[in-house]
Amino acid sequence: MARSRFGEPVGDQIEVCPVTQTQDIIAGKWKIIILWNLSVQTRRFNELQRLLPNISKGILTRQLRELEEDQMVHREVYKEVPPKVEYSLTPLGQSFIPILQSMGEWSKKNLVSK
């Protein structure tokens, strides 16, 4: 379940705005970037870590677990030696990609490059 900034499950809060649940799901410095990278293809943990060089292993693990808990990301564990784990978008996660694309377009139109 999504976490809220107040520490309560989203369902226990009074809805202030219709985007509150979405905000709770994608809140986190890296979640949008993780979702974007998974929109391109299924990735292994180390691949994601290479694509996000400033993220720590612990934070990446936590963000992936939260996205999995919120049913945005699927974690597939293969019984191999060494262990192989892949992350991909669920149908719910895939349904969020047009929103990410819109955010990118908005950024291109409205923000000046640094």
pLDDT single digits (tens) 79-103 = 988 889 999 999 999 999 999 999 9
Query: pLDDT-based confidence at 39, cuts 50/70/90?
Result: very high
pLDDT of residue 14: 59
C-alpha radius of gyration, the chain, whole number: 15
Q: pTM (2 decimals)?
A: 0.80
Q: Which amino acid is at 78?
A: Y
From the list 66, 70, 63, the residue with the least C-alpha distance to 21 is 70
Asked if 60 and 17 count as a contact pair (C-beta separation under 8 A), the reply is no
- Percent of residues, the chain, with pLDDT higher than 90: 63
Query: pLDDT-based confidence at 35, cuts 50/70/90?
Result: very high
Tell me how far apart the alpha carbons of residues 90 and 95 are, in angstroms, rounded to a whole number: 9
